[in-house]
A and B are shown apart, each in its own frame.
Chain A
Amino acid sequence: MKILIVEDEKELAQDIVNYLSGQNYLCEVAENYNQASEKILIYQYDCILLDLMLPDGNGLALLEELKKENKQDGVIIISAKNSTEDKVKGLQIGADDYLAKPFHHSELSARIHSIIRRKQFNSSNIIQLNEITIDLLGKTVKVNDVQILLTKKEIDLLLFFIGNKNRVISKSALAEHLSGDIADMFDNHDFVYAHVKNLKKKLTEAGYDNYIKTIYGTGYKWEI
């Protein structure tokens, strides 16, 4: 799966490439408007990560260009400008998601995963992974065809883990994912532990292999 990262900050772009490469994504980087514009018109990407403030132009203009060409690439805006107007404007033009900097790579990866899933499988709402089947529309989870009852947050966690296979996910990333911007205002994210514990318990009880590993001092990992 191909991903284009439009980001003028080289360090950040490289980090994103590093993180996503482990998830079987093929990443390309465009450092400015012109490079990005060229790549967008020539190639097709599954997902484009778009920084709004580029040295030679505005990311929103790129987005408009893309939509004019009627391209179906998924777009996630990643911006340091956490302003509601930009967000609304970006989504109106046709971005699929908006992520304010600074963000956790795991959050980004989960969102990319979700967008690609939606685009690729034509909005099919069933995710199949080993013994597990998740029906996004019905909000049901089955393990070996036996339905298990998960709370909304537990399903959220599960999807987040699936979007970050074999990656260490920090507790704060999980907390931010579960409670949004509000997590930003706390230093203590111990509640995540309770949710993960419940999820693990329910999955193991249903006979699912224990893929969720606790990593000392940092967080969790979905090992597969």
Chain B
Amino acid sequence: MHMADALISPAVGGTMWLASAGLTSYASRKIDVPSNGRLIPLMGVSGAFVFAAQMINFGIPATGSSGHLGGGLLLAVLLGPYPALVVMASILTVQALVFADGGLLALGCNIFNLGVLPCLVAYPLLLRPLLGTNTAWPRLFAGCLVAALVGVELGAFGVVLQTAVSGRAALPFDTFLLLMLPIHLAIAVVEGLATAAILAFIWHARPELRPGSSQAASDAGSVRPVALGLLVVALIVGGCLSWFASTHPDGLEWSIERAVGSAELPATGPVHGSLARLQDRTAVLPDYDLPSSGESSAETSDGSWPAVSPGGTVSGIVGSLCVLVLAAALGWVSRVANRRREQP
């Protein structure tokens, strides 16, 4: 999944360099060396370990192919998210320089896709909450698979996006995405299985390395800055970037319009009617706009783009916050359930 210099433009490469350099620099500062001197050599040899482990392939049953470890998730579990990002950045730098695997300009893209996404997104937001302190193997395998699927697919999406924006390859965005995501589904399964197999072995051999032990607790980093950063990005995207959304109908509406002549199917029957009335009463922001504006922005707009609309901005921000509250509530419920289960 390494990006190559040949496929990206200086604007995309430079932007991703800045983003990755900023995040790696931040992660580097977050590593508390004076209070945890062991971490420096541990990070160094862990990086060398991932390098060596990437060269060992294992057979994938019923496919005749083989796969190997990526390493981001494993490092995040062993070292914590911030040290793991620094280690992944160093691995990718050595790969770019010594093995010419991914180019120098594409290094920022590769650190973001293969380092930031698994270490600062998939691990703290998925694997850590899913695992908790329960290291039973079904939970470990399920957690690793889910986190790897999200991390690797996000990385693949990043590759497609960066390639499409660069404009070097003529492959259309949607076709490239349809090619990349299924291929990386298989890679993600390999990554999840390999990570889970290694963790299951070392936690069995060295129970003191399991999450919840004193050493693991001291190595775990805070995800608060990352969560805050993602919140700010979500609010900006929901509040402002929604103005730049296409005014054309989406794929489903387009298909329905072609089939029946209008973008929305008429509600027929008593069940549809009562559900539509219920939706009208409960919809606080109908059609992503303020209810006081009478007609929806889609109906009143003259097709101008960008469609700057205060109602759309409020809807975007309220929607983002609702999703955040819902996700936080689910996480809280999951944590309480975990604690109850762990209590004797």
Tell me, yes or no, whether A binds B. Answer: no
Please list the residues of chain B having a beta carbon within 8 angstroms of any beta carbon in chain A.
none
